[in-house]
Structure 1
Amino acid sequence: MKKEKTKKQSMHATVMSQFNKTADRMDLNVNIRKILSISNSEIIVHFPVKMDDGSVEVFTGYRVQHNNALGPYKGGLRYHDTVDIDAARALAMWMTWKTSLAGLPFGGAKGGIEIDPRKYSIGELERITRRFTYALGENIGPEHDIPAPDINTNAQTMAWIADTYMSTIPTSERSHNRHIVTGKPLGVGGLEGRDRATGYGVFLSAKLYLENKGERLEDKTFIVQGFGNVGYWASHFLVKEGARLLAVQDAHATLYKKEGIDVEGLAVHSNPRKGSIADYPDAVTIPPEDFFGLECDIIIPAALGNQITAVVAEKIKAPLILEGANGPTDKEGEDILLRNNATIIPDIFCNSGGVISSYFEWLQNRNGELWDLEESMGKLQKKLTENFKRIQREVEEKNIDWRTAAYMLAISRIETAYQQRGIFP
């Protein structure tokens, strides 16, 4: 496994190879290509935080703002020890494509803190989050750059950010700034259904794709890498439609059960363990290197980027890959999968349910409205279905793969915006 790790390209190299491939294919305007190849702003902050024992640690946080041609920057904040400027650049660029493809009035940003949150108490994580928010200062704002949850962050994290941000502005303006972040708890302006939106989008990708082929989810088998928010909700909805979860993998264990793993039982088991599926009694543990080679109909990488390398892709037998994570497939891995006639539903569509629901929450707060679960999920399903059909038409009309089709649609929208408004001065 160590040998394989050294072969992995950076996430930024992956997104740039995807962008350049698409730009060549669509003959993108050379000047717009220059603009979209780099980030507008890259913010690195170092900030001290007092720990429970009285000692002080200095943390490093990042926020990369890739492009805002279509609207305010939008993107998640992740707390993970793999967070660095390269990863933030890549993730911010993917967010630009994702928001554009979804037809949202947003640009793309991403960031986070280089940290393993399992090593810190709840009190320490709150202080780290609040100090990070303060360090970012005016680099974020409800009409400028709107963060959201990502890996190892959640609704509580967003509540701390919102409270800290609003505490730094005049009292009379605080009620007008609740949309500084999305993915908040319901009690502080969150949207019903936001928690499940990303996983629902992954599920709907599978359902719509199979329906287009005259097939159903019933009795289909799938495996999931990563059992956080996205992996859990995608599995939840797929199993409700009659599919069977054969295997789950995270950083600590790889579980398998031929008859199907109980999604809700595994969720109950893993939550108290801060996300670890290890030691789950109702499935067998298998070697991690066997995971991607399992016989199944659908693979859902919903963990970190660059997981499907050339070595891994050669093992894959599943005909359908749903990218629940951002950038889980590198260039060499994708080339092999396409050569083997596998279909990849790309991340910029497949996991876009989260940012679409974030837009709904942003609108809800901005307009002083309250949407119930049925309304928010209905709007989400409608938007995702429309976007799926647009990509599908592009695939069929141009005889291209799904990622290239999605990228062409996303980048074309931004190209049009630049052509129509021009470059200042």
Structure 2
Amino acid sequence: MKAFEATRHFFYQAADQLDISDELREALLMPNREIQVQVTIRRDDGHLANYIGFRVQHDHARGPMKGGLRYHQEVDLDESRALACLMTWKTAVVDLPYGGAKGGIGVNPAQLSKNEIERLTRAFVDQIHDIVGPDTDIPAPDMGTDYQVMSWFRNQWEKYHGFNPAVITGKPVEEYGARGREEATGRGVGTLTQKMVKRLGMSPDQSRVAIQGFGNVGSHAAKFLHEGQFPIVAVSDITGTYYNSDGLNIPKLLRHKLAHPKGLLEGFDDAEHLPVDALLKLDHVDVLIPAALGGVITEENVDAITAKVIVEAANGPTLPVADERLNERGVTVLPDILANAGGVTVSYFEWVQNRQHYRWSLDRVRQELDRTMNDAFESVWQMASQHDVSLRTAAYMIGISRVRRATELAGLA
């Protein structure tokens, strides 16, 4: 199933509950604009290389559009369309005054030098600078990009439009970035995992956690949950699954990742080394956190998952058929549009600070993030209880209702 088909499926489940007409459903689902551009750079060895870049702007009924830039070999128009749509509902669920967008370049950044990635970023900005801006569409980091890429993006955009750091978020703190932005998505995942476990009557120190993906989100979530006394028994990255039934030494694991030249877990010897796909199939796991790519929980592997709780730190990790089976088994799934909304929330805080020319303290960022995520969780939980639906459907219902209301008030429907 393609990514946008899965997003459409979940949208329609919520739309059925809200009794939305067919014509309005299509209006809410249809992207406002889709851009595909050629991005050509000269590689370090002198030859030309061509890549395809994308930017999908889904909806602006509630404010400027917001969404990440992804550098990954699987980036295409369908994925960008699905993720832009998810961003619309995500920003609405946590009640940020934004719409959704997404984009990126179909490239494996690991195969490029730092200078080549800079040239690629600047060439991409040359192609899309006129459709992004602080009042229209505000990009941010995503898979394969980081604060350095955001700095190059801003610098190139300002060559056309003049000084305005609010054009992009996830920037270095030294260049008008927000304190706490790098940890934000993982912190949000950790905060809501704690809240979910306690709401279900589970004890943190008895809730064994497995985290698929140990990049920015997975590693910060692991740090937060370890500090909250959760035993993290398994983590994985592209080099394999690292397992310890008594709980991994997370501080040691994080030091190893920082010391590795590519930020990987390769060579970590204080754990049992298993195949990459073993993490989803481990016994005696209470909380599973997929924090890597989308579409990893499928019809083929869902029955092997033993966790009672799944917290979707990645975008779109669970396909619809698998989601139905998890619901039938009574597994509680905290959906991506709520669970990983910490990143866009602190991106909003960064944008606000840039517009006000005023910097917040780290404590204030964390307090505002925790409050926003907790308020959204309570709203989704209450909606699910009132309508006897899953947390995913409840989250979509809240997001769609807010976008629908804004659309109607604007006279567009």
Distance in 2 between the 1:88 and 1:265 partners?
A: 36
**Pair 1:225-2:212 in alignment:** yes
**Pair 1:211-2:198 in alignment:** yes
Q: TM-score normalised to the size of structure 1?
A: 0.94
Work out which of the residue numbers 360, 369, 382 in structure 1 matches 2:349: 360
Quote how far apart the aligned CAs of 1:50 are. Answer: 1.4
**Pair 1:331-2:328 in alignment:** no
Asked whether the 8 Å contact 1:158–1:183 carries over to 2, the reply is: yes
Asked whether the 8 Å contact 1:77–1:110 carries over to 2, the reply is: yes
Distance in 1 between the 2:299 and 2:236 partners?
A: 19
Quote how far apart the aligned CAs of 1:131 are. Answer: 1.1
- 5 Å matches for 1:147-166? 147-166=139-158
Distance in 2 between the 1:273 and 1:263 partners?
A: 19
Alpha carbon RMSD of aligned pairs, Å?
1.3
Comparing 156-165 with 277-286, greater Cα deviation is found at: 277-286
Partner of 1:308: 297
Distance in 2 between the 1:15 and 1:106 partners?
A: 19
Query: Residue 326 of structure 1: SS of its match in structure 2?
Result: coil
Partner of 2:269: 281
Partner of 2:388: 399
Quote how far apart the aligned CAs of 1:233 are. Answer: 0.5
What whole-Å deviation, never above 9, does each CA across 1:239-281 have from its counterpart, x for those lacking one?
Answer: 0011111111222312211222222332333343424322222
Asked whether the 8 Å contact 2:239–2:276 carries over to 1, the reply is: no
Partner of 2:123: 131
Query: Residue 54 of structure 1: SS of its match in structure 2?
Result: coil
Asked whether the 8 Å contact 1:304–1:325 carries over to 2, the reply is: yes
Percentage identity across paired residues of the two chains: 38
Partner of 2:230: 243
**Pair 1:141-2:133 in alignment:** yes
Distance in 2 between the 1:302 and 1:391 partners?
A: 21
Distance in 2 between the 1:79 and 1:282 partners?
A: 32
Partner of 2:375: 386
Work out which of the residue numbers 311, 317, 323 in structure 2 matches 1:322: 311
Aligned amino acid, residue 293 of structure 1: K
**Pair 1:347-2:336 in alignment:** yes
Quote how far apart the aligned CAs of 1:348 are. Answer: 0.3
Distance in 2 between the 1:227 and 1:236 partners?
A: 11
Asked whether the 8 Å contact 1:207–1:216 carries over to 2, the reply is: no
Aligned amino acid, residue 294 of structure 2: G
Query: Residue 384 of structure 2: SS of its match in structure 1?
Result: helix
Work out which of the residue numbers 148, 168, 171 in structure 2 matches 1:184: 171
Work out which of the residue numbers 196, 220, 227 in structure 1 matches 2:183: 196
Q: TM-score normalised to the size of structure 2?
A: 0.97
Quote how far apart the aligned CAs of 1:216 are. Answer: 3.5
Distance in 1 between the 2:383 and 2:240 partners?
A: 39
Asked whether the 8 Å contact 1:32–1:418 carries over to 2, the reply is: no
Work out which of the residue numbers 236, 241, 244 in structure 2 matches 1:254: 241
Partner of 1:36: 28
Aligned amino acid, residue 16 of structure 1: R
| Structure 2 alignment gaps of length 5 or more | none
Distance in 1 between the 2:124 and 2:392 partners?
A: 34
Query: Residue 314 of structure 1: SS of its match in structure 2?
Result: helix
Query: Residue 168 of structure 1: SS of its match in structure 2?
Result: helix
Distance in 2 between the 1:114 and 1:290 partners?
A: 28
Distance in 2 between the 1:72 and 1:226 partners?
A: 30
Asked whether the 8 Å contact 1:224–1:301 carries over to 2, the reply is: yes
**Pair 1:78-2:70 in alignment:** yes
Distance in 2 between the 1:261 and 1:273 partners?
A: 22
Change (3 A) 1:185 1:336: same
Asked whether the 8 Å contact 1:220–1:242 carries over to 2, the reply is: no
Distance in 1 between the 2:161 and 2:35 partners?
A: 21
Asked whether the 8 Å contact 1:118–1:274 carries over to 2, the reply is: no
What whole-Å deviation, never above 9, does each CA across 1:317-359 have from its counterpart, x for those lacking one?
Answer: 1100000000000001101111110000000000000001000
